[in-house]
Amino acid sequence: MKNKKIGWIGTGLMGNPMVKHLLSAGYKINVYNRTKEKAADLIELGCTWFDTPAELAADSEVIVTIIGFPKDVEECYFGEKGIFAGLKQGSLLVDMTTTKPSLAIKIAEKAATAGSDFIDAPVSGGQLGAINGTLSIMIGGKKEVVDTVLPMFEVFGKNMVYQGPAGAGQHAKMCNQITIAGTLIGVCEGLIYGAKAGLNLTTMLESISKGAAGCWSLDVLAPKIVKGDYSPGFSVDNFVKDLTIGLEEAEAMKLSLPGLALVKQLYISIQAMGKGSSGNQALYLALEKLANMDGGKATE
Q: Which residues are catalytic?
A: 173
Q: What letter represents residue 189's amino acid?
A: E
Helix intervals (H) in 133-217: 143-156, 168-196, 201-208, 216
Give me Rg for the CA atoms of the chain. 20
For 152: left if phi > 0, alpha if psi spans -120 to 50, otherwise beta; the answer is alpha
> How far apart are alpha carbons 133 and 23 in whole angstroms?
13
> How far apart are alpha carbons 46 and 120 in whole angstroms?
27
* CA-to-CA dists, residue 234 to 7, 53, 162, 289, angstroms: 24, 25, 24, 22
> How far apart are alpha carbons 83 and 189 in whole angstroms?
44
Q: Are 120 and 139 in contact (CB under 8 A)?
A: yes
